[in-house]
Amino acid sequence: MYSYSMMEKILCIDDHICLGLPREEAEWAVSTYILKNKDALLPWLPFMNHFHFEGQKKVFERWRQMPIEKGFERMLYDDAVPIGACGLTVKESKTAEIGYWLGTDARGRGIMTKVVEHLVEIGFTHYAMHRMEIRCADKNIASANVAERAGFIHEATLKEAHELDDGFHDLRVYRLLRKEWEDGQNQRSKKVDG
């Protein structure tokens, strides 16, 4: 188990990977990293078309002001170097949605799967959620793979429910219920013990 206080600004996943709010003096470097990955993110995150440093500064300020009971948004760091972002947003009916992106230079190492697994644990243990969701464009295979590796079940594909710059796309909805997560935890525990 890792230590995490909802009031802390940093959560370390392992010896290298941490989630945190960028310090004000580091916002320029973080924004530069986001801009460096703009072309890779643009197909899935249309707001990247309107990216600018002053706007991103306001985004970071909204992250800092977000009431913790509504969830959180954090940058993802590998040895203090920005590599992506993730968040957990509390919705109604004891449901939370997880969102994430990873820079091109950090992909293919299992980082985001590990991060999502920790966000799931936070959602179920600290926020007492009943259901966790991940939603992604049908053609965003990398995000879909992260959801599946983290134990989520493809529940539905909503026809043309996701607007991107090039039109409407089908939207995959993945779910993980508390019982499914607990059953998975028990299975992993049995493998370790057995």
Q: In the chain, pLDDT over 70 holds for what percent of residues?
A: 92
List pLDDT tens digits, range 138-189: 999 999 999 999 999 999 999 999 888 889 999 999 999 999 999 988 776 6
Give the tokens for residue 169.
């796309």
Task: Give this prediction's pTM.
Answer: 0.88
Q: What is the pLDDT of residue 4?
A: 45
Q: What is the pLDDT of residue 189?
A: 61
119 vs 49, more confident? 119
List pLDDT tens digits, range 47-91: 777 777 787 888 888 888 989 899 999 999 999 899 999 999 999
Starting from the edge strand earliest in sequence, which strands make up the sheet with 131-137, in order? Answer: 10-12, 17-20, 71-78, 81-90, 95-102, 131-137, 167-177, 153-164
Angle at 107 between CA 101 and CA 111, to 5 degrees: 75
**Type of residue at 177:** L
Q: Is the pLDDT of residue 135 over 60?
A: yes
Can you state the angle between helices 27-36 and 53-65, rounded to 10 degrees?
Answer: 120
Q: What is the pLDDT of residue 25?
A: 81
Q: Are 85 and 122 in contact (CB under 8 A)?
A: no
Domains and CATH numbers, the chain: 10-193 (3.40.630.30)
Q: What is the pLDDT of residue 165?
A: 83
The set of residues, in sequence order, having a beta carbon less than 8 Å from that of 165 and lying 6+ positions away, is 42, 43, 46, 49
Mark residue 151 as left, alpha or beta (left: phi above 0; alpha: psi -120 to 50; beta: remaining): left
